[in-house]
Amino acid sequence: MPIVVRIDVELARRKMSVGEFAERVGLTPANVAVLKNGRAKAVRFSTLEAMCRVLGCQPGDLLEWVPDDQEAPTAAQEAAR
């Protein structure tokens, strides 16, 4: 999928658990997992806004477009940057 979700990277940088993040954003942990694993087909702007508010980041920190012919780096590779 050409859109890669980087929630796990931002959570790791802030040492925030999925449960805490889900509660603060107003999502279930299962829905956070759907987003993290790239299985979501859409994200509401209000949800994206809440995620950015909780994490103190910009939408581009959470979402990245990667051409189909390129492999997206893993969370461990991203955290090492």
Spell out the domain ranges in the chain.
3-67
DSSP class of 38: T
Please, what CATH class does the domain formed by 3-67 belong to? mainly alpha
Buried b (16+ CB within 10 A) or exposed e, 33-62: eebbeeebeeeeeebeeebbebbebeeebb
* pLDDT per residue as tens, the chain (81 positions): 589 999 999 999 999 999 999 999 999 999 999 999 989 999 999 999 999 999 999 999 999 999 887 665 555 556 665
Instruction: Output the pLDDT for position 11.
Output: 96
A 10 A CB-CB count for 63 gives 16
pLDDT for residue 69: 77
Say what the pTM is: 0.79
